[in-house]
Every structure is written in C-alpha cells, then in structure tokens.
Structure 1
Amino acid sequence: MHAPVLVLNENTKRESGRKAQLANIQASRAVADIIRTTLGPRSMLKMILDATGGIVLTNDGNAILREVDVAHPAAKSMIELSRNQDREVGDGTTSVIILAGEMLHLAEPFLERNFHPTVICRAYMKALDDAIATIDRISFPTDPNDREQMLNIVQSCIGTKFTNRYGTLMAELALDAVNTVAVDQGDGKKEIDIKNFAKVEKVPGGQIEDCRVLRGVMINKDVVTPGKMRRRIANPRIILLDCPLEYKKGENMTNVEITKEEDWGLLLKMEEEAIEKMCSTIAKFKPDLVITEKGLSDLAAHFLSKAGISAIRRVRKTDNNRIARACGATIVNRPEELQEANIGTGAGLFEVKKLGDEFFAFIADCKSPKACTILLRGASKDVLNEVERNLQDAMGVARNVVWDPRLLPGGGAVEMTVSAALKEKSASIEGMEQWPYRAVGQAMEVIPRTLAQNCGVNVIRTLTSLQAKHANGENPTVGINGNTGLITDMKQLGVWEPYAVKVQTMKTAIEASCMLLRIDDIVSGIKKKGDTGSKPTKPRIEDEGQADSEQFLPE
C-alpha cells in the first residue's frame, strides 16, 4: 500500500509538525515583545514610520500593530487579535497580545515533552471556564448614572495614555458623548453607536482645554452662496434631502436636435421652470435651512436665497444621518414627498464659523440630540491624532460600563486572583492536563509582572510579595500601583476596569493561543519573484484512493 502524498509544485514552501508549532510560538512572542513596554501608566512610546513616510507616536497597542508590517502568518493572526479586541470593547488591546504571547510561550516546554496540542488546548479551555467563574465571583455592580464613579472608571482605564496630564478632560468628553448618543430600547438596555453617531473633528490650533462635546453636529461646509444666504439662524426649521436640487439631464446618449433658435430658449425655460417648481415645493414648508447630499445648481441656490432659505450641498451620508438624529428631521428622497413631520425643529442654533483656515457649519444647542460631534483642538496634527486615539478608548470603556455595569479591580489584581485560584485547583485535576492547566495560572502573572517592569522596581520581590497577599484567595483587590510600582489596594486607589473588557481579553487570548497551537502545517503556494513560468498550481493533498498511479512516489 502506498502512503498519501502531498503533491506540491516547485514554488510551494512548507513547514510541518513541531517545526511549524515552534515557529508560530516564536512569531507570536516577537509580536508580544514589541508592545510589552507600552502597558501601564509608566509605559514607553513607540515611534513608527508608516507606509507614506509619516510618523506615528503612540503607546496604543492597536495603533502600533496596525502599522507594523509582518510576513509570518502567525504574527498576522496575533495582530488581528488586537484589532478584534479594539472592535469589540475598545480597550485591552495591549493586554490581549501580551497574554496570548505568554500562553504560547508556556506551551513550548509541553510540546518539547511530546504533549499532544489537543491535550494542552483542552486544559487551556478548562482553565478559561474556571477563570471566568473566579472573575464573576470578585466582580461587583456599579451605577452607570453616578457621574463621579464613571469618571473614575474611565480615568483609570486611560490613565496610561498621553492625555492623562490633562486631568479628567478626556474622561468627561467620553462620558458626555456616550450619554448623548445612548438610545433607550425599552427593555432596560441601551443602544450606543459611537462609531456612527459620535464624530470626532480635529482642528489644529487652540489649546487642548478648548476640546468640547457639541450638543449637535458640526460639518466642514459653508452655505452655497455666502453673500446672499444667512449664516446664523436661531431655532431653524431644517429639511434634509438625499437628491440633487438641479435639472435632471437625460442619459449620456440622449441627443437633442434644435432646428430653430427659439427652441433653445424653450429648453432653457423648461429647465428653469422645473428648478423653480422644485424650490417652490420646498419653500411651501417655510424651512430656514436645506441640506442635501447631492448637487445644488446655481439657479436653485438663487431661488432658495430669494425665499430666505440657506442651503448646504454635497454633505456626506454619515453626516446627514447624524444631523437627522440631532435635530429630529427625516431624510427625504424627493422634494415632492416632503411632509411637515419630516422637518427638523430640534436645533437651537445654526451658525457658520471660521476655525483656522476653514469654515464649519454648526447645528447646535439641540433639545435632545442622539448624535454629537466632539471638537478636538490642539497644537499639531500628531498631538490631535494621539488625543483622538485616547478618546476612542475612553468612549469604548464608558460604553462597556453602560452596557454591562460590573467592575473589577485594576493593576493586575484580577490576574493574580485568577492565577492563585487556578494554581490551587490544578492539584485536583488528574492526568497530563494538570500541567498546562497550571501554566494558564502562571501566564496570568505576566500582566502584573510587566506593570512592575515598566515601573522599574524589583520585579521578583514585588511579584513574590503580591503572590503571598493573593494566596488562599485573600485580598482580591490588591494589585500594583502603575505609577509607583508599590503593592496597593485598588479599592483605596480607585482603579477599576470594566468587566466586559477583562473577560473579552481572557477569552480572546486563550482561544487564539489554542487555535495557533493546533496548527501543524503551514503551506504557502506564493509564486517566486521574477518567475515568468506558468501559473503555479494550488498545493493539494492526494489521497491514495483518489490519486492517479503516476502521482505516487516510486517505491
């Protein structure tokens, strides 16, 4: 009997078995080592040269890994972890990479002692279930309506960031933005879509202290004819359209043959009448402001300004949706379909202002806006970009606490509590799974250890002392003060983390490390550079029952 054969062409590279697993672990550790120093309040910054030659200065794990160019597939999947974490909960992007890297590093000795990856993964998943049970035990509820408590939570989560020097400014902006866009769904739950309805506008100039959350929307537009149209209107009636306010020409292939000179005048008159009819339909509702996503012709602008209506054209779809939510208007497809109910009357003021070199239209002082714009001011674009990254993290944290109002102590206290619980329970686990199970508890210590390293204190002494305090499940709120490196009770320090972030971090790190450990073959069929031969065939595995006789290797 012949063995199954992997038929590969000359361009195919292949790593298999133990070699592939160890290569994946090495690649994952390399990614974790890049951002290890960016954890905690005493974190270092990274300077990254991006593809366009620009410079990015940040200590945000996701922002760093987004710019890093890696070739190894395992390293790419580690970077994807950080993106997923950012997408799901908006925080913990550095922790998840460090934790996953440590999980894989501690699996290496087991692979060398011929433990099967399935055994390691089974133990890891069992440890994950017990870790979440421990976290549930030490978590406690909080009131999302208590502003002071919420500010403390958000501040402790972004305390590691660049904007920490500005006190609670970022936390207050984030909290105001989240509370503005939150929509009650009736069953006690809230819909908070910060991606679509909390827009960040960065305007260089001014001071960081000038940053604010607008009760409404700001767009980078001016009125169509500034000399004739009003630039400031109190309590405006607003109509939103997503159709062009100009004469609709025929399709490209339409030809009009004019035999008499008068016919040309007739055509122009018909065009003018169509636009006048469109504008009079709008004017019937006595709006003060018309905003359209499409074009608006000079003739339409003339008729609207004659009727005392200001107009803004070519507004983005996303901005139009935000304006609709802020002032209570409904976006209409055709002027003929307009009704009184579609008009937005919730805005207190429409104003066009010049900030820096550009004009911005403000639809502000809305009665109950469910969309907002966060205006960021700062000295330079680099500073503004970093402030925006910090603000997005802060909004993510505030949103998570409103969704799931449970808290956990920060400063590595949760990881040490979970570590102590898993080490204690590992004694009752039978068979080979006991050692990988215990390794998960060991891996949890990487977070407090990294915090201590970044503070510059004696790591071994600090960690031993912290382990002693957490022995037998005592002192679950004791962790490391990220600023001083001293062992402190997080309850007294007021450093808290959202439950959702911590659970997501652990689930993502452990599940991803299990997936990478179960890879035993890396096959690449990428064509070599400079090879002008025929298209490489896809690598395929032939089974002995299906393969033709000539595809078998000779005996």
Structure 2
Amino acid sequence: MSFGQAPTIVVLKEGTDTSQGRGQIISNINACLAIQDTLKTTLGPLGSDILIVNSSGKSIISNDGATILKLLDIVHPAAKILVDISRSQDSEVGDGTTTVTILAAEFLKESKNFIEEGVSSHIISKAFRKATALAINKINQLSIKIDKVNDNSEFYNTLIKLAKTAMSSKIVSNNSEFFTKLAVDSVLSLDQNDLNLNLIGIKKVPGGSIDHSLFIKGVAFKKTFSYAGFEQQPKKILNPKILSLNIELELKAEKDNAEVRVQSTADYQAIVDAEWEIIFNKLKLIEDSGANIVLSKLPIGDLATQYFADRNIFCAGRVASEDLDRTIMAVGGSIQSSVSDIDPAAHLGNCDLFEEIQLGNERYNIFTGCHNAKTCTLILRGGAEQVIEEVERSLHDAIMIVKRTIQNNEIVAGGGAIEMEISKYLRNYSKKIAGKQQLIIAAYAKALEIIPRQLCENAGFDGTDLLNKLRMAHATGETWAGIDFNTESVSDNMKKFIWEPSLIKINALNSACEAASLILSVDETVKNQESQSPNASQAQAMMASRGRGIPR
C-alpha cells in the first residue's frame, strides 16, 4: 500500500509575501541601522539640525530625536519600534530621545555578527538584559544625590546646570542661560507636591528676538474676538472677581424652518421684547453677582459687550477651552452653564491683578497673583515660526529634566562619561564569566562607546584618539572623565558641571535593551500585498510580525 504526496494546503491569500528566519532578523536590524544613520549626526552640543519638509510643504528644523522620528514617514514595521521608544523616552524623561535610539540601533549592530554566526537571538537577548541590569545597578551606585533641603540656592543652581546641559544641543544653545532660567523658574513656580506641567502655558508670538520671550507668573492668553464697545471696557483691574461661563450672551436668529404665527404687530413686538428681556435678565444677574471679569467659551455679542462696558466690566467670549480651564485652575471658581443661581463665594474666581498688554502685533489678557493654584505662562518670541517651534521643543526638554530632577534628585556626569565608566565595568565583568554570554556582554560594553564616539564625530574631533584617552582615564580610576568640547580633549565632567539626571541614562538603557530584544525576537513578517494601500500609514497597518517568546 503506498501513500501519495500530501496535498499543499494554502493558508494565506495568493500574493502574500512572507519572509522568515535569520535573514528576516538581519533585515530588521539593517532597517534600524538606517534610522540610526539619520539621527546620529544630531547628537550632542555640536550636532547638526535636520530640515524636514512634510507633505503639505511645511518645513520643520529640529534636532530633537522624538520630533524627527515622528515626522519621518517610516514604513518598515521593525524600524517603527525605534519611533515608539523615542516617544516613551520623551514622555517619561523629556530628554535623551536621540541617545536611546542610537543605543538601541548600536545594540542591534553588535548582535548582528552573532546572528550571522548562528547564535540564538534568545541567548543574545538574555545577555543584553543581564548587562542592562548590571549597568543600571552601577549607575545607581555612582550617581550623586543632591541635597535640596538645606540649601535652596545651591539646589537652584544645580537645576540651572542640568537644564543648561539639556539645552546644549538645541538651536537655542547660544541663549541657554536665558532659557534655562525660564525653564527652572516655570517648574519652581508650580506646586512642588504634584508638579502638574499642564499649569505651564506656552504661547507663541511671532516677531522680535528669542530673548524677548517672557515668563509670567500667572495665566495669559491672546485677546479673543471682540465686538464694538470692547475698547470702552477696563484694561486693568485690581483684585478682580472672575466669572467663567459656557453660555452664549447674544441675540440669535431663529432656526431654519421655524414658524411663529402672530395676529397683530403687537404680538410680534411682544416676541421681540421677550427675547431682549431674556438676555437683559441674564446680563443683570451677572452684574448682580459682583463679577467684574466675565469669560465664556461661547460668543459674547455686541449687546452684552456694550452692556458690560457701560458698567465697567471686562468680558471675553470664545475663550479657548484649554485657556479657560487653566484660568479656572489658577483663579478658582467653576464654569457655569446657567446664570440663574450664581453663588459669588463658590463660583467666582479671584487673583491680585488683571491687565491687557500689547505683545508684538497681539494683545494679551494676563492674570497674575493667582492663589487657587500655582501656575505660569511662557510667551515665546522669535523672528521665524520654525525658530519659535524649536524653542518650544527645547524648553519642553529642559522643563522635563528639571521636573524629574526635583522628583529624583540624583545626577551623573554627561559628555560620554557615564557610558565609558559602565563600558569599562561590563568589559571587566565579562572576563569573569564563561560561555557565549562573555562575548555578548563585551559587545554590549563596546556598543555603549557609540555615545562618546558620536559626540566626537559630530564635533569634528579625532574620535579614535579621544576614545583611547577616555579608556585610559577610566582604567586609572577617573570615573567622570568625558569629552570636553571647549578644549577638544578629556576632562572631569562632574567638575565641569556637565550634569544629567541619572534617570535619563537608566530609562535610555532600559528602553534601548527592550527595543533591541523585541526586534531580535521577530523572525517572520507576513505582508498582504493586495490589501496594501499606497498610504504609508495604512501600509504599516497591513504588516504583521510574529515573534518568538523570550524567557525573561
């Protein structure tokens, strides 16, 4: 009895492209290395900026890793993992987005040789996780704790130095002293128990120099659309009472297809009078509440504007929802959807001073001396829109660094110092163990050297020479030896005040290791060609990657 050949079972639709095995892993690694090539020139204080033009023709100039990766149209599913880790670094710490992407790609580059030689990706990932745990433990041992209780001025200076290091690679580095003070003052103006960054408002006003930017300890928003009578309203009020509304204060035309049947002109006049009576009753109730500033998310019409002007009350309609919410958090009170039961004690907010000032071509309404919640507003100036946007991104990084330092007050030296010290430590550790893990941990240690090497290359220094000097310095016990950009040599970066929060390095190593392990675990990609859309974002959704589980 003989059996014929088993029939071929078709599981996937015809035209489906499948790739698997060692070649697929190497292909994924190469895609990530292409991302690294794009980003690595932006690393460090002397890194370059990248000009990105989107599909609508808008140009963005930036060297922020998360911003660049978000704007790049990346289709490869494995390379998109690097976009995700840069975003996680940006949301968790705020800085180090380029570092984490470069490190993840370098870990993959070092593992590529092992994959080609047939080493299982499970073994590589296991060794990477062990090396990361050792590195983080070493950072915790080396990090220096800042005492923020006994000496507030010293702690303030420390925050300034940390923010300055974060801004050293940004487009505003020449004005770093000015902007670091803005960043530190804005975070310290918040309630130190929760440090809610939503209470820091950032407004952009084109025109003027970037050092014309303002720090306002309070709430500020652009003057809203206003009707005739607005200029007769007060532009400065001491100790105002502020009422926030979510109702329209204007006469509205009847809806389409509305029908009102009247028998005489007197009936028609009664309807018109009733409409006016309704709005005048609303305005009278607002006046009786004692409020002298009225803000509303919805329009405040010309009738109400003139009514308030005659009674020395300031009003602003069509206030942006986020501006009104932040104002309420700062001055107190609550948004009212009716004026029939206003309780002045519970529903009105207050502050020390309200004023309207001219900034460039715009007028801004400013509330200062807010007692309900500590808040501030940064008004950014600049000659070009791209410059103002990059200033905003730079300030975001510095503000996040200051916040994280207040919450986790431990620092390490930057400029490649901590990476070289961990690299030395892991290289020495690898010599004490046997098997494949010895080689992989040594490769992990070598990968960490990409940070000081790339810093040298971006600055135009001799990377090989300076790396040799760094290895020698760390071998002789100089823990904080790093790249000194002023002397084009090696120096003690802790004494040079090139500081970074240890949280940046810990989060970067964790994220880079996880991303590298995830990419190494994927050994098959299934892509449905027929369902693929020309739109890149839809094309990405049609790609499915299958990974093998990695023991942790």
The alignment's TM-score, normalised by the length of structure 1, stands at 0.89
Q: Contact between 1:353 and 1:359, CA under 8 Å: does it hold in 2? A: yes
Q: Contact between 2:291 and 2:348, CA under 8 Å: does it hold in 1? A: no
Query: Which residue of structure 1 lines up, in the alignment, with residue 173 of structure 2?
Result: 164
Instruction: List aligned pairs for 1:287-366, cutoff 5 A.
Output: 287-342=291-346, 346-366=350-370
Superposed CA offset, 1:462-502 (max 9, x none): 11221122237x22211112444311101220111012211
Q: Contact between 2:218 and 2:367, CA under 8 Å: does it hold in 1? A: yes
Q: Contact between 2:203 and 2:378, CA under 8 Å: does it hold in 1? A: yes
Q: Contact between 2:167 and 2:176, CA under 8 Å: does it hold in 1? A: no
Structure 1 distance, partners of 2:373, 2:342, is: 22
Q: Is the alpha carbon distance of 1:117 and 1:530 closer, same or farther for their aligned partners in structure 2, counting shifts above 3 Å?
A: closer
Superposed CA offset, 1:126-161 (max 9, x none): 111111100100011114542111111111121121
Q: Is the alpha carbon distance of 1:302 and 1:148 closer, same or farther for their aligned partners in structure 2, counting shifts above 3 Å?
A: same
Query: What amino acid maps onto 1:147 in structure 2?
Result: Y
Query: What amino acid maps onto 2:314 in structure 1?
Result: S
Query: Which residue of structure 1 lines up, in the alignment, with residue 185 of structure 2?
Result: 176
Q: Is the alpha carbon distance of 1:485 and 1:337 closer, same or farther for their aligned partners in structure 2, counting shifts above 3 Å?
A: farther
Query: Which residue of structure 1 lines up, in the alignment, with residue 41 of structure 2?
Result: 37
Query: What amino acid maps onto 1:106 in structure 2?
Result: E
SS in 2 for 1:492: coil
Query: Which residue of structure 1 lines up, in the alignment, with residue 20 of structure 2?
Result: 16
Query: Which residue of structure 2 lines up, in the alignment, with residue 513 of structure 1?
Result: 516
Instruction: List aligned pairs for 1:107-506, cutoff 5 A.
Output: 107-144=111-148, 145=152, 146-180=155-189, 182-184=190-192, 190-194=193-197, 196-222=198-224, 224=227, 225-246=229-250, 255-342=259-346, 346-366=350-370, 370-471=374-475, 474-506=477-509
Structure 2 distance, partners of 1:539, 1:393, is: 33
Q: CA deviation at 1:461?
A: 2.0
Q: CA deviation at 1:402?
A: 1.2
Q: CA deviation at 1:406?
A: 0.9
Structure 2 distance, partners of 1:21, 1:514, is: 11
Q: CA deviation at 1:370?
A: 2.0
Q: CA deviation at 1:244?
A: 2.7
Superposed CA offset, 1:251-306 (max 9, x none): 87764333433222222222222212222222122111100111223333343333
Q: CA deviation at 1:122?
A: 0.9
SS in 2 for 1:258: coil
The alignment's TM-score, normalised by the length of structure 2, stands at 0.89
Q: Is the alpha carbon distance of 1:530 and 1:30 closer, same or farther for their aligned partners in structure 2, counting shifts above 3 Å?
A: closer
Structure 2 distance, partners of 1:110, 1:3, is: 38
Structure 2 distance, partners of 1:73, 1:90, is: 24
Q: Is the alpha carbon distance of 1:345 and 1:133 closer, same or farther for their aligned partners in structure 2, counting shifts above 3 Å?
A: same
Query: What amino acid maps onto 2:200 in structure 1?
Result: A
Q: CA deviation at 1:38?
A: 0.9
Structure 1 distance, partners of 2:470, 2:114, is: 27
Q: Contact between 2:216 and 2:368, CA under 8 Å: does it hold in 1? A: yes
Structure 2 distance, partners of 1:85, 1:539, is: 25
SS in 2 for 1:191: coil
Q: Which moved more, 1:131-140 or 1:436-445?
A: 436-445
Query: Which residue of structure 1 lines up, in the alignment, with residue 76 of structure 2?
Result: 72
Q: Is the alpha carbon distance of 1:217 and 1:119 closer, same or farther for their aligned partners in structure 2, counting shifts above 3 Å?
A: same
SS in 1 for 2:172: helix
Report the aligned-residue RMSD: 2.6
Q: CA deviation at 1:211?
A: 1.2
Q: CA deviation at 1:511?
A: 0.4
Q: Contact between 1:237 and 1:343, CA under 8 Å: does it hold in 2? A: no
Structure 2 distance, partners of 1:476, 1:253, is: 80
SS in 2 for 1:52: coil
Structure 1 distance, partners of 2:448, 2:411, is: 19
Structure 1 distance, partners of 2:6, 2:106, is: 42
Structure 1 distance, partners of 2:530, 2:266, is: 67
Superposed CA offset, 1:105-133 (max 9, x none): 01101111111111111111111111110
Query: Which residue of structure 2 lines up, in the alignment, with residue 535 of structure 1?
Result: none
SS in 2 for 1:311: strand
Structure 1: any 5+ residue segments left out of the alignment? 185-189, 532-537, 542-555
Q: CA deviation at 1:208?
A: 2.2
Q: Contact between 1:82 and 1:96, CA under 8 Å: does it hold in 2? A: yes
Query: Which residue of structure 2 lines up, in the alignment, with residue 548 of structure 1?
Result: none
SS in 1 for 2:204: strand
Structure 2 distance, partners of 1:273, 1:365, is: 37
Structure 2 distance, partners of 1:4, 1:525, is: 20
SS in 1 for 2:315: strand
Q: Is the alpha carbon distance of 1:62 and 1:482 closer, same or farther for their aligned partners in structure 2, counting shifts above 3 Å?
A: farther
Q: Is the alpha carbon distance of 1:247 and 1:110 closer, same or farther for their aligned partners in structure 2, counting shifts above 3 Å?
A: same
Q: Contact between 2:473 and 2:481, CA under 8 Å: does it hold in 1? A: yes
Q: CA deviation at 1:2?
A: 6.1
SS in 1 for 2:295: strand
**Pick aligned residue for 2:60 from 56, 60, 73:** 56
Q: Contact between 1:235 and 1:345, CA under 8 Å: does it hold in 2? A: no
Q: Which moved more, 1:262-271 or 1:116-125?
A: 262-271
SS in 1 for 2:220: strand
Q: Is the alpha carbon distance of 1:338 and 1:80 closer, same or farther for their aligned partners in structure 2, counting shifts above 3 Å?
A: same
Q: Is the alpha carbon distance of 1:302 and 1:413 closer, same or farther for their aligned partners in structure 2, counting shifts above 3 Å?
A: same
Q: Which moved more, 1:238-247 or 1:63-72?
A: 238-247
Q: Contact between 2:328 and 2:349, CA under 8 Å: does it hold in 1? A: no
Q: Contact between 1:70 and 1:76, CA under 8 Å: does it hold in 2? A: yes
Q: Contact between 1:204 and 1:356, CA under 8 Å: does it hold in 2? A: yes
Q: Which moved more, 1:248-257 or 1:222-231?
A: 248-257
Structure 2 distance, partners of 1:529, 1:83, is: 26
Structure 1 distance, partners of 2:493, 2:478, is: 10
Query: Which residue of structure 2 lines up, in the alignment, with residue 547 of structure 1?
Result: none
SS in 2 for 1:168: helix
Q: CA deviation at 1:55?
A: 2.1
Superposed CA offset, 1:368-396 (max 9, x none): 75222101112222221221121111111
Structure 2 distance, partners of 1:471, 1:389, is: 38
Q: Is the alpha carbon distance of 1:208 and 1:143 closer, same or farther for their aligned partners in structure 2, counting shifts above 3 Å?
A: farther
SS in 2 for 1:348: strand
Q: CA deviation at 1:347?
A: 2.5
Query: Which residue of structure 1 lines up, in the alignment, with residue 525 of structure 2?
Result: 522
Q: Is the alpha carbon distance of 1:11 and 1:308 closer, same or farther for their aligned partners in structure 2, counting shifts above 3 Å?
A: farther
Instruction: List aligned pairs for 1:1-12, cutoff 5 A.
Output: 7-12=11-16
